[in-house]
Every structure is written in structure tokens, then in C-alpha cells.
Structure 1
């Protein structure tokens, strides 16, 4: 199973340094999220800062994930083509819808019918990347381009597209129209086995290509003291426990009361990334990989046979920069030892 990394950096230069360390440790892909930074700008920095030499280990570069509806599909396609050129054919376009509030309140983007809209988004991106004149797609989202052709030769015939998804319809869509699926940060092996893989297989049954990359994901907190490791990761779980969209998932696992406490703390003014003290160790263990190096290696091994790769990120929510740096160094040590 491939180990991927979502690197952290307080500055872009530090982020690139972390990506180089992940490359040296043997990581398969470094992924650029989109929350506090622009995913495409970060991916460009990672592509320029890592090795393009085809005779050596070449780490992949991906957006994990870029927002699909906050940009036009054509602009997304052009960014993907540019990044594939910049990276020497190492780019993977990871897209996700985000939630309704993020699209509407943060970006002024509509969020109606997300599944068919994402289907159309992928179709338009593929049409633009394929070239040709005219470029026409009719659907929930349409495009009609005449008299335009990208005058630069592509690095390769096909740029892989990955879709993030949580609900069964979105996961099945990924299986049907994408080249890979990227997990949410909270995706334990049981969730992958019991709920995600059946939906992916249903989508793959309708797909034309047999090749597909399943990328699990987890916050990975490594420390010689497992109690310290859990406490570093607890804010990640606390953040999601306070979000109404995830309440059903936590309630089904027996953590409904914790979610209620986290939501109440948020309403009273607590920052969303500071709720880790409300999260019991059992909940941290259920949704993150936290513990000693040996414990973390065992937890990563539980994904074997369920995923082709796992995207590991250091704990960062609500932690001072120095502590995140320490946690990331321990994570990279772990990647190099597996």
C-alpha cells in the first residue's frame, strides 16, 4: 500500500521543505488541500520544489482536494494542464464539492444538485483537456466553446481525476467517472470496508476503465507517549464533532453525546479547533491514527486490502507551530520506516 502525505508548513517555503522530506522518505504523492491556501498555487510550489528526474523516485503531486464549484470547469482544466506540464507529468487533479454553506457563504457559488453537477464538471474538464474545436457539453452545467484550441502540446494523454465523496451517491459517482477516490480525513477501516467500498464497486460496475486508485486518509499523530499522541490529534476529531453534517456518523458509533457537547461549546464561543478536551480517547482512536510508531504502523496496516494508498496528515488543529513541526517530523520518520 502506498503512503501519501499531506504536508504542513507555516510558510510556503516550509511546506515545500516538508514535501521534499516526504519525497526522501519514499512517499508516493504529496497532496495540497484547499482551506487556508489555494490548492493549485500550493501544488505548483510542490511541483517546482520536488524532483522531475525520471531516473529517480518521482513523487506525485495532487490537489487533495480543490473545490469543484468555486471555479469554472474550464479554468480548472487549464490549471490541471499547466500543473501537469510544470510537474513533468506527475499531477493528479483531486476535486470535491465541499458543503453547501462553504460554497454559498464563502464563495458565492450555487450548490444545487451536487452529484449531477460534479458529473458534468468532470465531463467538461475531460473535454477541455482532450482539446478539439468545438468543445460542447450540455447538462446541469454546460459549455459551448468555438474557435479556441490550446496551442501547447500536452505532457501526456490523460491527467488522472480523483473525486472526494462521503455520501453513497457521491462515492458511486467517483467510482463511475473518476480515476480515483479520496477519503475524508475521518475514514476508519470499518467505514471504508462496510460503506465506501460497496458504493465504489457499484460505480465501478458502470465505468469503462478497470484502473482505479482508492486513497484512504487519516490524521496521523506519532509520539513515544501514546497519550501525548492522542491529545495532539483530539482537536481534529473535536472540530468535526461540532459540525452538524457529521452528527449522524458519530451518533451511529455511539458518540452522539460528545457531539452535543462540542456543538454547545461552539455556540458559546469556543473556537472550532480547540475542542479536543471534550473528545475521549476512544473517539480519537476510532477516527485517527495516534500512538507510538509501532502502534501507528499497525493501524496503517489495517487499511491493507481496502485501499491502494493512505494520505497521512500531521495533527495541526489548534496546536502551536512548533508542536505541529515536531508532529510532522515524527510522521515523516514513520513514512520512511514503513
Structure 2
């Protein structure tokens, strides 16, 4: 059981499905953050500043402000793709990463992870005519690994728990961009199972 506040951004193809997903997340022990996603939305999240570096930087900022950690809630918002098949999880998560990389708005984020060249290649392909749903193929594995929580359940669990002492809240959301609804539903169920494990409320 973790001290982290585990939250979930539900997804649904219809409003009824969205509400059902929210209820399932609450039953699993998560608090639902209602920044929900209807099918094919493009809410942008990113989740992977290196834990030690982030802790030092955030701690320095808090100290300089004259306040304490208890006065802040640092929220990590993470796209999460869980499967034992690493190629499959990376493919699912790559669509959103590619979409984010196609615009320069997130250039600082990619640069912070040493991924500027990879972002430039995505932009090049986008400008050459690749559609937003086709950019996953331009995204290399290191880009997905750095910017999402993707992999086997045990590995994703450890990556979530690595934020203890750095963040107060972790918000998990399934990948959606360029994926069919049944695949998103399956991804959502795997995340909810992990949430139940993390919160210690698996029935």
C-alpha cells in the first residue's frame, strides 16, 4: 500500500461509459480527477522527470520560497500503458507522444530528456504529411519510455512508487491517441487493476 494519493482520469466513448469508468476507478480505491477524456480527445500529459533531479529542484524552490513540502501537492500526470509485451505498450503510448512532439510547445520538455533530435524527426514527418494518428511510427522507444509509464505491471508499479517523497499525487490515464475504443478499454482495465493493488483495496 502506498502513501501516494492515486487518482485516475477516466476515459469513455460515451458519457455513460465515462461515468462507469469513473465509478470503477473509485471502486478500485482511486480518487477520480474529472479532467476526463471522451474518445479521441488530446489532453496532454507527461510523466517522467528523473526522480532525484526533480526532488532536488522542487525542494530547492520550496526552500527558497520559505515554505515546506506540506504546503504543496506536487501532481505527476502520467499516460500509463501496461502489458508484458513491451512492443505493444510502446506502440499504444507512442501515438500521444508523437502528437505532443509534433508541435514546438513541448520543445523544452523533450530537450530536458535529451530528445530534441527525436522530436525534430517527428516534426519533419508531420510536415511531410503524416497524419496525427500516424505519428506513432516516428516515435522511438526511448521517447516513450521517458515520457510515459509503460511496461509490465510490476515495472509500472515501481515507477509509480518512485514518486513517493517527491509527489503527493499521481494521476494515471490510459493512452488514447490513434487507438480504437476496445484497445483503450482494455488498457483502462489494466490500469484500474494496478490502482487497486497500489491502494490496497483489491477485493
Q: Which of the residues 2, 5, 29 maps onto 1:26?
A: 29
List aligned pairs for 1:25-104, cutoff 5 A: 25-33=28-36
Q: CA 1:32–1:203 in 2, change beyond 3 Å: closer, same or farther?
A: farther
Where does residue 335 of structure 1 map in the other structure?
Answer: 195
Residues 1:34 and 1:25: Cα distance change in structure 2 (over 3 Å):
closer
Structure 2 CA distance for partners of 1:35 and 1:13, relative to 1, 3 Å? closer
Shift in Å, 1:326: 0.7
Show the counterpart of 1:277. Answer: 137
| 1:253 counterpart = 2:133 | no
Report the CA distance between 1:28 and its aligned residue: 2.3
TM-score normalised by length of structure 1: 0.51
Q: Note the C-alpha offset of 1:215.
A: 1.4
Change (3 A) 1:34 1:5: closer
Does residue 205 (structure 1) correspond to residue 66 (structure 2)? The answer is yes
Q: Segments of 4+ in structure 1 off by > 4 A?
A: 33-37, 194-197
| Partners of 1:221 and 1:259 in 2: CA distance | 21
2:160 aligned with 1:300: yes
Do 1:185 and 1:217's aligned partners in 2 also have CA atoms closer than 8 Å? yes
CA distance in 2, matches of 1:274, 1:250: 20
Question: In the comparison of the two structures, how many residue pairs are matched?
Answer: 191
- Counterpart residue number, 2:9: 6
Asked if the contact 2:125–2:138 (Cα under 8 Å) also holds between the matched residues in 1, the reply is no
CA offset digits 1:255-294 (Å, max 9, x no partner): 2221111112222232224311111111111110001110
1:231: which partner in 2? 91
Backbone CA RMSD of aligned residues: 2.7
The structure where helix makes up a greater share of residues is 2
Q: CA deviation at 1:202?
A: 6.0
Q: 1:206 to 1:295 in 2, by over 3 A?
A: closer
Gaps of 5+ in 2: 199-203
- Which whole-Å CA distance do the structure 2 matches of 1:197 and 1:284 have between them? 27
Equivalent-residue separation in structure 2 for 1:34 and 1:316 (angstroms)? 9
Deviations 1:164-221 (A, max 9, x none): xxxxxxxxxxxxxxxxxxxx7213142643545544x1685379xx643221111010
Are 2:53 and 1:187 equivalent residues in the alignment? no
CA–CA separation in structure 2 for the residues paired with 1:203 and 1:33: 35
Q: Is the 8 A contact 2:39 2:176 kept in 1?
A: no
Q: Distance in 1 between matches of 2:15 and 2:38?
A: 14
| Distance change in 2, residues 1:36/1:186 (3 Å) | same
Unpaired runs of at least 5, structure 1: 38-64, 66-183
Distance 2:133 2:114 in 1: 22
Equivalent residue for 2:201?
none
Corresponding residue for 2:175?
A: 315
SS in 2 for 1:213: coil
- The question of whether the paired residues in 1 share the 8 Å contact of 2:80 and 2:173 is answered with yes
Change in CA separation of 1:7 and 1:261 when aligned onto 2, cut-off 3 Å: same
